[in-house]
Structure formats: C-alpha cells, structure tokens
C-alpha cells in the first residue's frame, strides 16, 4: 500500500459520491465502496485489476465474496461502518478468478452520511508478490520456534504472516500443550510492534479481583494489601503485544472491562477514576469451546466478536504425526549442548502414541528419557511406560473428548488419581495434562486426597 494511503483515507471520507468516484478513479491503490449491508456498491479501476474482475461483475455482491468466509474481516468491517475503529493495514487474501489467492492490505474509512445512508471505503494495497517472496525465504519446516511441515501447520504459518502486520485482535485456539503462546510470540515478532514488549497473562491462574488488578493495575489503598500504586499488564505492554491465555476462564464482569479497552483503548486502574490511554495489540488463546459458552450465556457476544477478528487454529499433535521427527530433533537440540540421537525403536514408539498432552507431553517424555540415557542415545526403554504402548489411544482415563467441567471429567480425574495413589505428577501424565491444569481441575471439581494420601 502506498505511503499516500493514510492521507487520502480521510479525504475519501469527506467526499460526496460523485467526488469519491472522481478521486478513486485516479488512485493506484484499489478502492471498494461498500453499502450499509456490506455489499459492493462500486470500485475503482485499480481494485478491478487487483481482484481480476470488472466492476459490473462484483457490484451487488457481499464483501465476503472477495475473500471467502475464512479470511473475510466481516465483523471489523461492520464495526468500522458503524463509526468504530477503522481497519489499519490488515493483511488478508482475496480469491482470484483462476482460483489462486492474492494478498492485500486492507484499510477502511467510514464515509459521510450525505453519501446516501452510510457507506464504507475499503482501500486495498496489492502485496501478493511481497508475500510470495517472504514465504520463499522462510526456513523449511518451521516459523520461528514453531516446528511443522504438515499441511495444516504450513497453512497456520501462512496465516501468521498474513495477520502479523496488522493490529487486528487474534484468537488462538488449540488443545492444551499445542503451543498457543509460541503462536502469539510469532505474531508479535513479525509485527510492527516487535521492538515493543510481549507480555503474557494466564487468566485462569488468578481470581477475578486479582486478575482485574493484574491487568489494569491499582492505586494505593484500592483494597486491603494495596500499599502502593502498581502498573497493570496493559501498561507494561504499551507499544507491544498483550497475550491473554485461557481467555475462556474470564468472568463476565472482567469481559465488560476488557471490551471497553478493546473498543476505546483506555484503561482505568482499580481504585481510580482517571482514564489511561494504552496502545496495545491484544492476542487471546483458549482450549475451550467459546461458541458453546456463547450459547449458554457465559461469554458475552460483543466480547467474543471483538477478540475473534481473526481466529488461528493449531492442530493437535496426533493429527500431524509426520512432524514428530522434526519436533524431536528440535527439542533434543534445545535441551542439551551435546549431541543426542534417538534410536529407531524409540522414535517408532513416539510415532504410535496418541499425544493427549500434545507437544508439551512430547517435551516432557523426551526430558524423562534424557535423564535416564547415559550414552547420548535415547532408547525405547528410556521413554515413560505409557508412551507408544497403546495406552493413551485406547485408555478411557484420558481427558480428550470429555466435556469440560462435567461429571465424566470428574470421574476420569478421580480414577487417574486413584490408579496412581494420588501422585499428581503421574496422574497428570496419565491424563495428558500438566500438573498446574490438574491442580486447577481438582479445585473446580472439589476433589481432595484421602487423609492418608501423600
């Protein structure tokens, strides 16, 4: 997108329809005029060239026909049309007539009401060639600390690079242990905010009152124990990225306060009425089904659509087993300075395991094996006994596929703890979760060891 775009976006917003068409016709960037129903009302010659289709073929179509449902920023376009925050250099892909994908930077400007009931100018900058060259320069088999050659992982890497240059809010979905924070860091490191801080908060680790103070800060005397002023994580992330993990565990009251920040870019410290402006990109993550929470009323609809401008899905490890050798190589190299190799039989067991705990479980299994290995070779007998034994794939004690918080989950937790003599470390490994997650689930279900347990 040319450097003139920020200047003429506001110019277009002040023109009447005739003036809009006159100016748009001479611009080198594509301009698509959308009506109040987000249908294409008009477009300039540059947009016709970028999209590869004439104006008469596109006029009257819904805007998502340009992008496809997966890549269409519909919710954000609707918010911009209503006079909300404009889109600023959001990168996404468009569908070309031959089925290929082109890549564009999107900017919006809400047009004045005198243009006929409200309209939105969507400015497109063609970055197809730049995107192609960037992908060609990417190292094979990964993106930063993310590793994978599987088709779904390659698609994820492409989406990260598409979304990273924008300030759009991103929701990352993946099972426990898939690497959601790594995806968030990859977004940050490829964004214009890379020089700023990356601040991560686990929303499930704190009670509601503590989470509010953690996020927004507090002033002295705001509550018992607040002996001094404290900056919150939003202020610490100023100019950078704030990663909110386990966003599905946030209470409706905190959702309202987060929604205000996302809409108006201001915070209010606990115990203070003064508004503090913040410049932060928010990336969230969850392993919960937010659509189910939305239907049950536990998640606010306006909050959900605000955090889910773009959704990135991380495939579980059992669905990309061909990446296991790559992951093993990377994890072994990272854990020890000396060269460690893995025996074929050990690798075969890793490939046969179902990995309910995903990459985190794989990392823990390799760490276990390296402790036992003495000659620089990881053999099958060095792996935890449940790895590759057929245990995880068929054993009903795992939590994969079990509704969260229900009686079936409670029974699986109780059974795993009884089978391991209430050894939480072994029970967590048996269930395919980490020890912290197990502790939280025990608290949720009110499970406690018998008095004579360890």
Domain ranges of the chain: 5-133, 140-313, 317-393, 396-445
Neighbours of 66 (CB within 10 A): 25
Is it the case that residue 5 has pLDDT exceeding 50?
no
> What are 158-186's pLDDT values in tens digits?
889 889 988 889 999 999 899 999 999 99
Question: Which residue carries 């705990």 as its tokens?
Answer: 357
| Predicted confidence band of residue 2 (pLDDT cuts 50, 70, 90) | very low
Is it the case that residue 436 has pLDDT exceeding 80?
no
The pLDDT of residue 173:
95
| Mean pLDDT of the 401-428 span | 78
HSE of 115, CA atoms in CB hemisphere, 13 A: 25
Distance CA 411, CA 409 (A): 5
Neighbours of 79 (CB within 10 A): 20
| Predicted confidence band of residue 137 (pLDDT cuts 50, 70, 90) | low
Question: Which residue carries 């179509």 as its tokens?
Answer: 61
> What are 327-370's pLDDT values in tens digits?
998 888 776 556 788 888 888 889 888 888 899 999 999 999 98
Close Cβ partners of 234 (under 8 Å, ≥ 6 residues apart): 215, 216, 217, 242, 261, 267, 278, 280
Q: What phi and psi, each to the nearest 5 degrees, are found at residue 246? A: 55, 50
Close Cβ partners of 420 (under 8 Å, ≥ 6 residues apart): 426, 427, 430
The pLDDT of residue 4:
39
Asked whether the beta carbons of 377 and 343 are under 8 A apart, the reply is yes
What CATH fold (topology level) applies to the domain 5-133?
Beta-Lactamase (3.30.450)
> What are 111-131's pLDDT values in tens digits?
765 444 578 888 898 888 877
Question: Which residue carries 């007539």 as its tokens?
Answer: 97
Residue 446 burial by CB count (10 A; 0-12/13-18/19+): exposed, middle or buried?
A: exposed
Is it the case that residue 297 has pLDDT exceeding 80?
yes
Q: Regarding predicted confidence, which is higher, 375 or 156?
A: 156
Residues 112/11/62/307 CA torsion (nearest 10 deg): -90
Distance CA 269, CA 444 (A): 29
If you average pLDDT over every residue of the chain, what do you get?
82
The pLDDT of residue 339:
72
| Predicted confidence band of residue 396 (pLDDT cuts 50, 70, 90) | very low
Q: Which two tokens stand for residue 50?
A: 């970028």
The pLDDT of residue 366:
92
CATH topology identical between 5-133 and 140-313: no
Stated length of the chain: 454
| Predicted confidence band of residue 238 (pLDDT cuts 50, 70, 90) | very high
Q: Of 197, 331, 304, 194, whose CA–CA distance to 247 is shortest? A: 304
Adjacent-strand bridge partners of 200: 243
Is it the case that residue 426 has pLDDT exceeding 60?
yes
CATH class, range 396-445: mainly alpha
Domain 140-313 is classified in which CATH homologous superfamily? P-loop containing nucleotide triphosphate hydrolases (3.40.50.300)
Residue 238 burial by CB count (10 A; 0-12/13-18/19+): exposed, middle or buried?
A: middle
Distance CA 315, CA 157 (A): 12
> What are 201-224's pLDDT values in tens digits?
999 888 888 898 899 988 877 676
**Domain covering 317-393 assigned CATH 3.90.850.10 in the classification:** no
Q: Regarding predicted confidence, which is higher, 142 or 146?
A: 146
Adjacent-strand bridge partners of 39: 62
| Predicted confidence band of residue 139 (pLDDT cuts 50, 70, 90) | low
Most confident by average pLDDT, 8-22, 73-87, 316-330, 414-428: 316-330
User: How is residue 2 annotated by DSSP?
Assistant: -
Reduce the secondary structure of 394-434 to three states and give it as a string. HCCCCCCCCCCCCHHHHHHHHHHHHHCCCCHHHHHHHHCCC
Q: Of 316, 314, 292, 315, whose CA–CA distance to 304 is shortest? A: 292
| Mean pLDDT of the 268-290 span | 91
Question: Which residue carries 């590793």 as its tokens?
Answer: 147
Asked whether the beta carbons of 62 and 39 are under 8 A apart, the reply is yes
Neighbours of 86 (CB within 10 A): 17
């Amino acid at each position: 997108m040319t450097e003139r775009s920020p200047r003429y976006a506001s110019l277009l917003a002040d023109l009447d329809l005739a003036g809009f068409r006159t100016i748009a016709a001479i611009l080198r960037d594509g301009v698509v005029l959308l009506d109040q129903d987000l249908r294409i009302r008009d477009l300039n010659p540059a947009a016709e060239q970028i999209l590869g289709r004439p104006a008469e073929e596109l006029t009257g179509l819904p805007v998502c026909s340009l992008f496809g449902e997966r890549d269409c920023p519909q919710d954000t376009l609707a918010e911009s049309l209503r006079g909300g925050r404009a889109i600023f250099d959001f990168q996404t892909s468009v569908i070309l007539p031959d089925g290929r994908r082109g890549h564009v930077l999107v900017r919006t400007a809400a047009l004045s009401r005198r243009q006929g009931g409200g309209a939105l100018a969507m400015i497109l900058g063609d970055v197809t060639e730049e995107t192609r060259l960037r992908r060609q320069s990417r190292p094979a088999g990964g993106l930063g600390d993310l590793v994978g050659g599987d088709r779904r992982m390659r698609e994820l890497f492409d989406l990260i690079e598409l979304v990273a240059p924008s300030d759009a809010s991103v929701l990352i979905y993946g099972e426990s242990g898939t690497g959601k924070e790594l995806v968030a860091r990859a977004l940050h490191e490829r964004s214009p905010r890379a020089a700023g801080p990356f601040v991560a908060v686990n929303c499930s680790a704190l009670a509601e009152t503590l989470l509010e103070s953690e996020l927004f800060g507090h002033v002295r005397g705001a509550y018992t124990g607040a002996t001094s002023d404290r900056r919150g994580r939003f202020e610490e992330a100023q100019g950078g990225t704030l990663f909110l993990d386990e966003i599905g565990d946030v209470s409706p009251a905190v959702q309202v306060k987060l929604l205000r920040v996302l809409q108006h870019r201001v915070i209010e410290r606990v115990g203070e009425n003064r508004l503090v402006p913040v410049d932060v990109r928010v990336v969230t993550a969850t392993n919960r089904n937010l659509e189910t929470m939305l239907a049950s009323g536990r998640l606010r609809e306006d909050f959900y659509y605000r955090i889910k401008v773009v959704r990135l899905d991380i495939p579980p490890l059992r669905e990309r087993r061909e990446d296991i050798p790559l992951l093993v190589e990377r994890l072994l190299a990272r854990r020890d300075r000396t060269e460690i190799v893995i025996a074929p039989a050990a690798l075969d067991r890793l490939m046969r395991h179902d990995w309910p705990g995903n990459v985190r479980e794989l990392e823990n299994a390799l760490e276990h094996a390296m402790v036992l290995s003495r000659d620089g070779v990881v053999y099958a007998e060095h792996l935890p006994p449940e790895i590759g034994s057929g245990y995880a794939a068929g054993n009903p004690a795992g939590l994969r596929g079990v509704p969260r918080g229900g009686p079936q989950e409670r029974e699986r937790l109780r059974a795993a703890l009884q089978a391991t003599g209430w050894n939480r470390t072994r029970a967590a490994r048996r269930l395919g979760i980490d020890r912290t997650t197990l502790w939280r689930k025990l608290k949720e279900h009110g499970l406690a060891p018998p008095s004579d347990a360890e």
